[in-house]
């Protein structure tokens, strides 16, 4: 086996660190609506989500291959460049988590890699045709498709049960949410854990440890699945609060419809190798479920904040990745500088987050800052 350098080991550890942030950043995708409706207790929800994220990681590797040999040239990417791209993604994930914004961890990763490879290897290092077909087009289409599906499903759920007393309807859909939320968790593991698998595989290819176009080794699949599962279990309560309580008023039938729609879109795209954002899909479904319920409140100001974060994610993470790459390619000292800077950002973000902590105990409360925002952001 080809000798694995210390830098390659550092990049693999950094990729798994990103996978962990992906987990706690995206827990809301699977469990926010179930927690908001009371279908699952918060701690139980994240435990189920973590276990099924791990299981989902073993279902497919098509998205991983899109990352490892699709969006960038695996012959031009180096471990230092990949490290810089990961730093760009991690910094963006931490910043949006602190703000409670459900931005896309996937797009943060893509942006970081694209920016780093563009600066480090030149424009020929990025396959822009694949970026458009496998990332940008699904980013536009997936939330629309999921939103329309959730809108229709929510409308039909209420129409079919309009003559049934609210209590039995709510109870039945809450039980159904246990299944639908679990399926979203499984789908998330299938889709998002593969992103890190692809990055680690790309790193091993760039180091000569794997052949160009190789699929992820079993140990890479297991490590990526475990990292995202642990991240998921840690909670990500800030974003769960936004997705479950601030975007729209969620009742059990809506939650079930949103989760079922999200699962269908995510699993279908993963089977086709589309590296879409589960955050975009789930947010589209939640918004659609709000529109599908008569008299439900949709807070368009919150939706607008999320949309702005989506638009900024690729270029912002790309800019950080590009700056990091410009420093990292200078040699070992450059890589060390970038690593220290990333750790400093992480420590700062954590310290700031402790000023107004969001936990399993208060995740369904709007909170003082959130209450001020809601007062300034009337629903329409």
Mean local confidence (pLDDT), 68-90: 87
pLDDT given at position 222? 94
With a cut of 80, say whether residue 17 has pLDDT above it. yes
- CB-side neighbour CA atoms (13 Å) of 251: 19
Q: What is the pLDDT of residue 11?
A: 93
d(CA 109, CA 26): 13
Predicted confidence (pLDDT) at residue 57 exceeds the cutoff of 80 = yes
The per-residue pLDDT for 80 is 93
pTM equals 0.79
* Winning range, highest mean pLDDT, from 54-68, 126-140, 269-283, 328-342: 328-342
Q: Residue 78: name the closest of 293, 339, 271, 330 by CA.
A: 330
**Cα distance between the two ends of the chain:** 61
Tokens of 327: 């420093």
Question: Which pLDDT value is given to residue 141?
Answer: 87
For the chain, the residue count is 380
The Cα-based distances of 9 to 3, 15, 246 in angstroms read 11, 10, 41
Q: Name the band, by pLDDT with cuts 50, 70 and 90, for residue 360.
A: low
Half-sphere exposure at residue 2, Cβ-oriented, CA atoms within 13 angstroms: 13
Q: At residue 81, does pLDDT exceed 90?
A: yes
Q: What is the pLDDT of residue 248?
A: 65
| Lowest-confidence segment of 11-25, 117-131, 222-236, 347-361 by average pLDDT | 347-361
At 2 the pLDDT is 53
In tens, the pLDDT along 245-257 reads 566 667 778 878 8
Between CA 4 and CA 16 the distance in angstroms is 17
Q: Residues 276-302: pLDDT tens digits?
A: 788 788 888 888 887 777 655 667 777
Beta bridge partners of 126: 72
- What pLDDT is recorded for position 373? 35
């Amino acid at each position: 086996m080809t000798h694995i350098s210390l830098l390659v080991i550092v990049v693999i550890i950094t990729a798994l660190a990103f996978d962990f942030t992906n987990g706690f950043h995206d827990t809301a995708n699977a469990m926010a609506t179930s927690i908001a409706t009371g279908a699952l207790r918060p701690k139980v929800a994240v435990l189920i989500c973590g276990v099924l994220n791990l299981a989902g990681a073993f279902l497919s590797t098509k998205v991983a291959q899109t990352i490892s040999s699709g969006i960038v040239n695996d012959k031009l990417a180096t471990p230092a460049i990949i490290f810089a791209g990961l730093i760009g993604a991690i910094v963006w994930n931490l910043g949006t988590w602190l703000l409670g914004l459900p931005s896309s961890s996937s797009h943060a990763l893509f942006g970081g890699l694209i920016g780093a490879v563009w600066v480090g290897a030149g424009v020929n290092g990025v396959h822009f045709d694949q970026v458009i077909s496998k990332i940008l087009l699904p980013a536009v289409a997936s939330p629309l498709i999921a939103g329309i599906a959730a809108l229709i499903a929510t409308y039909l759920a209420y129409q079919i049960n309009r003559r049934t007393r609210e209590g039995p309807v709510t109870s039945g859909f809450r039980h159904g949410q246990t299944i639908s939320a679990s399926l979203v968790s499984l789908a998330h593991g299938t889709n998002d854990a593969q992103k890190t698998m692809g990055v680690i595989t790309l790193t091993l290819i760039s180091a000569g440890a794997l052949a160009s176009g190789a699929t992820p080794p079993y140990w890479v699949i297991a490590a990526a699945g475990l990292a995202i599962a642990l991240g998921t279990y840690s909670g990500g309560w800030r974003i769960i609060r936004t997705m479950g309580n601030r975007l729209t008023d969620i009742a059990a039938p809506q939650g079930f419809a949103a989760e079922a729609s999200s699962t269908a879109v995510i699993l279908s795209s993963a089977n086709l190798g589309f590296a879409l954002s589960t955050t975009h899909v789930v947010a589209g479904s939640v918004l659609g479920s709000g529109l599908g319920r008569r008299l439900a409140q949709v807070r368009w100001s919150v939706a607008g904040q999320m949309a702005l974060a989506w638009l900024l994610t690729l270029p912002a993470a790309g800019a950080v990745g590009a700056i990091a790459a410009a420093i990292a390619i200078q040699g070992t000292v450059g890589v060390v500088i970038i690593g220290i800077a990333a750790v400093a950002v992480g420590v700062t973000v954590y310290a700031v987050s402790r000023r107004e902590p969001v936990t399993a105990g208060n995740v369904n409360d709007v909170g003082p800052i959130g209450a001020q925002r809601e007062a300034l952001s009337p629903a329409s």
